[in-house]
Amino acid sequence: MTQFVLQARGLTKHYGHVVAMDNCDFDLRAGEILAVIGDNGAGKSTLIKALTGAVIPDSGEIMVNGEPVHFRSPLDARKAGIETVYQELGVAPALDITQNLYLGREQRRKGLLGTVFRKLDKSAMRQGSARQMADLGIRVQSIRQKVDTLSGGQRQAVAVARVAAWATSVVIMDEPTAALGVRETNQVLQLIERVRENGLPVVLISHNMPNVWQVADRIHIHRLGRRIAVVEPDSTTMEEAVAVMTGAKQPEALA
Amino acid sequence: MTKLDDAVLLEKEDRAGPWRAALSSQIAGPLAALVLAIVIFSATTDSFLNPGNLSLIAQQSVVVGTLALGQTLVILTAGIDLSNGAIMVLASVVIGNLATDGNVLGALLAGLATCLVLGLLNGVLVSQFSLPPFIVTLGVLSVLTAAARLYTDSQSYPITSEFLTALNEGPAFGGVTITYGVMLWIGLTAILGYALTQTAWGVRVYAVGDNPRAAALTGIKVKRVLLSVYLTAAVVYAFAAWQALGRTPTADPSGYATANLDSITAVVIGGTSLFGGRGGVVGTLIGALIVTVLANGLTQAGIDSLYQQVGTGVLVVIAVAVDHFVRTRQTR
Ligand SMILES: Nc1ncnc2c1ncn2[C@@H]1O[C@H](COP(=O)(O)OP(=O)(O)O)[C@@H](O)[C@H]1O
Ligand SMILES: [Mg+2]
């Protein structure tokens, strides 16, 4: 039986007269890459924010591993093992790679040095981040490099490495490749596949259809505030999916 | 495969760590400038390189240098504190006034409390109300400048207590007197340097100054970090007030009128970025020394002290240009 890691039923969110989510459902299976596609303003980001505690839905239910949860803040979602990469906002450029990976979760030394003098355990954190970067196949000259010396793709890789390091149930990425060139985009896509290989399911929001068809196991099509179809890249063409996404075709028309 | 490479690379770096970090960072430039200035003045004047003069340079640097340590914390968060000199002056007249009763320790604590209340005011306005630090501290500067004069009726208090002027005393090592004030300055630099580079608080201060939204998204309580910075800076300003009473044993409400800008100068020459997130207190200590060495050396060389201001100005521009270059550099 398929295990669902993250689910939502009947999510609704109104902003004044705007209905950002309209009885929206969502299902993420263990170990899959689920792409979420939809027109601008379809409500994708609102859905993601609801799933990560950044927006509290007017109604509806969210479940983690089948258990209902009520996220009041992004911190609650993080405690449930859900980590998010936000577009362009992921990293602090003046800090080095290790500091970025451990930001907000710094490790202190054992004993008096840690408890009284609050001393950081820099070597443990460096080893941890070197291991994390290696596990994801991210190559950098040095783990001490400041992030502003990295290319755009490497920076995004650091942001992905951080969420992958701390996520214990789900990794969510909102348009992680929007600002990147072709080669760098491919690096990040490979990274997303690595995260899946390491056992974490990934939710990928993207406007780039070829990218989506390249990595996704399933595709959630979003339109007018709700999920109108879930398709698989093997059995649905990009043209068909885009037609459904834009309303040119009814979802029932899909095989 | 990558695992092994990285592990090897890491080990090699860890050994070279502290030195490499110190030399590669922003400190290298200011340190080179300081050494260069010392070498030039030592070679061109007879009086510069003598124990008494070197000791004097350190003492002359102490008040602005200490203020600049607090200023560094604020600037690291991409803020600026125009009120630090005025806070120090108000604290020193409060101390001077209360000390006339003879309760010197109580007076000193009242000075600390004055700094903390004003640091809290700046910190709350900046963090909780998200007001720009430039405007907040400009306003506080204006109010305090008047407040210090109203409080003292524009009089100054002579300081007679030995305890209050003790920071200007100290042991001599081979003819070089190291005052307790200088030791305190170096000690504060060491403590703040440790806090900034070796604790999670420090990492968060840099992160908040560098990219506050990214910091917030990682769960850092940005407002709390900002408030802690203004409060810590306030404690440092209280020490500066004590230093000032040692340097000139009068609490003068109209003294140190340019100390705020001088402290910013020391911070900038010391390599800390006005845009936040880069720099540190050791650089600031060097920056404060550079300014004093320039003034002192040019005087020894018999050159008009106006050229000291020219030299300082040039260094500020160079420092800002270097910072701009560092922040906008892109590899590949
Ligand atoms: N905070 C908000 N206040 C008002 N309207 C909002 C807010 N967030 C989203 N919306 C509206 O909700 C709709 C869905 O937005 P969004 O979830 O960002 O869509 P998408 O990410 O698919 O482009 C849009 O019409 C948008 O204008
Ligand atoms: Mg969006």
Boundaries of domain holding A139: 88-166
| Residue B56: per-residue pLDDT | 94
* Contact between B278 and B269 (Cβ < 8 Å): no
A155 and A177 co-located in one domain: no
In whole angstroms, what is the distance from residue B201 CA to residue B230 CA? Answer: 13
Q: Would you state the pLDDT for residue A254?
A: 76
- Residue by residue, DSSP assigns A166-185 as H-SSEEEEESTTTT--HHHH
pLDDT at B26 over 80: no
Indicate yes or no: CB of A130 within 8 angstroms of CB of B331. no
CA-to-CA distance for B131 and B41, rounded, in angstroms?
Answer: 45
Q: Are B133 and B124 in contact (CB under 8 A)?
A: no
pLDDT at B24: 55
Q: Is residue A201 part of a domain?
A: yes
Distance CA B316, CA B266 (A): 9
Say if residue A65 is in the same domain as residue A175.
yes
- Cross-chain residue pair A139–B2, CB shorter than 8 Å: yes
For residues A8 and A68, membership in a common domain is answered with: yes
Task: Report CB contact under 8 Å: B218, A130.
Answer: no
A31 and A147 inside one domain: no
ipTM of the shown complex? 0.82
Contact A35, A204 (CB under 8 A): yes
Residues of A within 8 A of B19 (CB-CB) are none
| Reported confidence tier of residue B23, pLDDT bands at 50, 70, 90 | low
User: How many domains are contained in chain A?
Assistant: 2
User: Which atom of ligand 1 has the smallest separation from the CA of A174?
Assistant: 21
Nearest ligand to the CA atom of A178: 2
pLDDT of residue B213: 87
Q: Which helix (H) or strand (E) segment is A240 a member of?
A: helix A238-245
The answer on A104 and A75 residing in a single domain is no
Bridge-based pairing of strands B157-158 and B250-251 is antiparallel
Whether A255 is covered by a domain: the verdict is: no
Verify that A129 and A153 share a domain, yes or no. Answer: yes
For position B59, what pLDDT does the model report? 96
Find out whether the beta carbon of A111 lies less than 6 Å from any atom of ligand 1: no
Give me the amino acid identity at A93.
P
For residue B128, what is the DSSP state?
Answer: T
Could you tell me how many helices (H) and strands (E) chain A has, helices first? Answer: 9, 10
Question: What is the mean predicted confidence (pLDDT) over B232-245?
Answer: 98
**Whose CA is closest to atom 3 on ligand 1?**
A15
- Residue B95 tokens read as 């101390």
Residue at which a domain ends, from A166, A185, A217: A166
Low-confidence ranges of chain A (pLDDT < 50): none
Write down the mean pLDDT value for chain B: 90
Q: Are B91 and B112 in contact (CB under 8 A)?
A: yes
pLDDT of A89: 65
Distance between CA atoms of residues A96 and B201, nearest Å: 16
Percent of chain B scoring above 90 in pLDDT: 80
Q: Is A192 a domain residue?
A: yes
Round to whole Å and give the CA distance between B236 and B252: 20
Return the CATH number at A35. 3.40.50.300
What is the predicted pLDDT for the residue at B10?
38
List Cβ<8 Å contacts ≥24 apart for A69-73. Answer: none
Please, what is the angle between helix B28-44 and helix B281-300, to 10°? 20
CB contact under 8 A, A74 and B217: yes
Task: Identify whether A212 is part of a domain.
Answer: yes
Tell whether ligand 1 has an atom less than 6 A from the beta carbon of residue A206: no
Q: Between chains, do B199 and A130 touch, taking CB under 8 Å as contact?
A: no
A236 and A218 assigned to the same domain: yes
Ligand 2 centroid – CA A34 distance (Å): 16
In this structure, the answer to whether residues A203 and A145 fall within a common structural domain is no
Judged by a CB distance cut-off of 8 A, whether residue B24 touches chain A is no
Domains in chain B, ordered, with CATH? Answer: 27-324 (1.10.3470)
Residue with tokens 């050396």: B297
- Which chain B residue's Cα is nearest to A107? B200
Residue B71 pLDDT exceeds 60: yes
pLDDT score, position B328: 78
Q: Say yes or no for a CB contact (<8 Å) between B13 and A142.
A: yes
Of A166, A188, A223, the position where a domain reaches its end is: A166
- Give the model's pLDDT for residue A170: 96
The confidence band for B1, taking pLDDT boundaries of 50, 70 and 90, is very low
What is the per-residue pLDDT for A141? 85
A21 lines ligand 1 (CB under 6 A): no
Tokens of residue B313, six digits: 């100005």
Residue A26: DSSP 8-state: E
Mean pLDDT, residues B65-93: 98
Q: Is residue A254 in some structural domain?
A: no
Last residue of some domain: A166, A201, A231? A166
Under the banding of pLDDT at 50, 70 and 90, the label for residue B223 is very high
What is the count of residue pairs from A and B with beta carbons less than 8 Å apart?
103
* Model pLDDT, residue B36: 95
The stretches of chain B forming alpha helices (DSSP H) are 2-24, 28-44, 51-76, 84-99, 104-127, 133-152, 162-165, 180-198, 200-210, 212-217, 222-247, 259-269, 281-300, 306-328
Mean pLDDT computed over B167-172:
93
- Closest to A92 (Cβ–Cβ): which among B7, B215, B331? B215
Structure tokens at B291: 């300014």
Say if CB A37 and CB A207 are below 8 A apart.
yes
Q: Answer yes or no: do A111 and A141 share one domain.
A: yes
Closest to A79 (Cα-Cα) out of A105, A98, A55? A105
Structural domain includes residue A176: yes
B225 CA to middle of ligand 2, Å? Answer: 30
CA distance B192 to B184: 12
The answer to whether residue A87 neighbours chain B at the CB level (below 8 Å) is no
Chain B contact present for A213, CB below 8 A: no
pLDDT higher than 70, residue B11:
no
**Residue A67 alpha carbon to ligand 1 centre in Å:** 28
Same domain, A128 and A151: yes
- SS (HEC) of A92-126: CCCCEHHHHHCCCCCCECCCHHHHCCCCECHHHHH
Residue type, A116: V
Which of A12, A15, A224, A246 is the best mutation target for the ligand 1 pocket, counting ligand atoms within 8 Å of the beta carbon and taking the most?
A15
Give the model's pLDDT for residue A88: 59
State whether the beta carbon of A43 lies less than 6 angstroms from ligand 1: yes
B232 pLDDT more than 60? yes
Nearest ligand 1 atom to the CA of A43 is: 17
d(CA A122, CA A124): 5
Q: Is A54 on the interface with B (CB under 8 A)?
A: no
| Other CB atoms within 10 A of residue A249 CB | 16
